[in-house]
Amino acid sequence: MEEGTTVPLFVQYNVLMISKDSIYQSVEEFLASSDYYLVDIKIAPDNRISIEIDSFEGVSLEYCAALNRHIESQFDREVEDYELEVSSAGLTEPFKVVKQYKKNIGNEVETLTKTGKKVSGILTEVSETGFVLQTERTEKPEGAKRKMTVVENLTFSYEDIKNTKYIIRFK
């Protein structure tokens, strides 16, 4: 290098951020003709886009790839530099949408309330405002010689819940 020549220490790139609304519209357009539904969209400051989908029948790798191709056809990588990941909602991740609760009716789940109480039970009912867990506990009624199993239905409102997860049991 010639004397007096300066070398930039860093080069600043102008990266356009893709709006969450435009991604949402593109995903919903693609999912509209299927049984799949959107669980979550995350866009990191460095334009890393993460999309989670699900369906009542499970998620195929081919469908994730097709959605990925659809989204990539909607946005120009030369203009909007981004990284894209399309995946199924994680089996051990907390539920994020009501359809995930509906999908798990009849399954054992664990709910953590905002007050810190953990409750496990069978998910029996789901509505737009809350859900019902069927729980079992053992107690010894007064005057009884043996403990009895008591089945109880507990109703929860989504606004009182920190999270709910599917419980995986290996028997």
Residue ranges of domains in the chain, CATH in brackets = 20-88 (3.30.300.70), 98-166 (2.30.30.100)
pLDDT for residue 4: 53
Q: Model confidence at 47, in pLDDT bands (50, 70, 90)?
A: confident
Is residue 161 within 8 Å of residue 93, measured between CB atoms? no
Is residue 149 within 8 Å of residue 155, measured between CB atoms? no
User: Which 3 state secondary structure label does DSSP give 48?
Assistant: strand
DSSP 170: -
User: Which 3 state secondary structure label does DSSP give 111?
Assistant: strand
Q: What is the distance between the alpha carbons of residues 17 and 86, in angstroms, rounded to a whole number?
A: 18
Angle between helices 20-31 and 61-74 (to 10 degrees): 130
Q: Model confidence at 132, in pLDDT bands (50, 70, 90)?
A: very high
Q: What is the distance between the alpha carbons of residues 121 and 169, in angstroms, rounded to a whole number?
A: 13
Largest CA distance in the chain: 98
Is residue 114 within 8 Å of residue 160, measured between CB atoms? yes
Q: What is the distance between the alpha carbons of residues 167 and 122, in angstroms, rounded to a whole number?
A: 10
Say what percent of the chain tops pLDDT 70.
90
Say what percent of the chain tops pLDDT 90.
69
Q: What is the distance between the alpha carbons of residues 71 and 55, in angstroms, rounded to a whole number?
A: 19
